[in-house]
Structure 1
Amino acid sequence: MNNSNIYELFRSRFPADTEAVFLEHERGSLLYGQIQNETGQLTALLKQLGVKKGDRIIVQVDKSAEAVLLYLACLRAGAIFIPLNTAYTAQEVRYFMEDANPHLIVCRPQDLETITDCARELNVPHVMTLDDQGSGSLIEAKSNAPCSTDIEHCEGSDTACILYTSGTTG
């Protein structure tokens, strides 16, 4: 039976040259060879936090290379990635948290207090931080995680991402 995991589909098309650039960003570049290790550590961390296939992870962070790696790790773990716009108000974020019932929320450090208070009320097990410079509690915890080689088996019908929209057209 084929694995329809989106990360596995990406990985199967990585170039043989592990030194090839995958992503350039203001702090440098991320090589294809680094992706397997970086996402492997994040996947191991997600599993340490109890994330299982189909669990939802809300991510409300600024754009960064580490946010891309987190997305890939969620795919790799079979978790459902839920990106939220950083412009959403606390009330809007609370609605999404209630609706999505996440296992983990990753937010900007400046939003930690508000998000943690809401997460506590809604029994969300874990809240971590990630800033636009690649720092935060998520990255600190990842540095202590082993490198997993696991790629969760997924079917084409498994949900990979949930996108909340404003509901407007046009």
Structure 2
Amino acid sequence: MVTYFLIWFHEESIKERKGKAGNRLKKATMGIASRGAAIATATVVNTERFPLILYKRILRLHYGLPEELRYIGDNYVKDEFRRHKNASPEHALLFLKEWTEYCMSLSKQLSNKGIARGILGKNLDPAMLDSFHDEQLRQLLDLKIEAEKPKISSA
């Protein structure tokens, strides 16, 4: 099974490398890798535009969600991308990596095979919950409260 992940190099870290290797790293921003294998291929993507491309791709994927989930998901994605617009390179790398994984996971769930299985969403690993900061736990609780709000129907 192929796992997609993001390899994002910030220009400051690339400046440390010299010669042709540094130039190649500057262009390589996204890779595809098999489990347990090294990078299989690299695609040239503009590092400044990649977050926008990812953002648009996620919003497009949300069209396949039920209306209530789409509303919550769209608002959450917009808010998160706005908050991380001026993030440090380290945080931006982690942020884009996690959202890329979300995008790939949602894409699989909304594919014909995923829909046939009735899979939508995934359970959080308890070990992952233990590693969350207070703010992340608060966001998760807010998301749960928003998701459990009674649906207001227009009569």
Normalising by structure 2, what TM-score?
0.25
Highest CA radius of gyration, 1 or 2? 2
Normalising by structure 1, what TM-score?
0.24
Name the structure where helix makes up a greater proportion of residues: 2
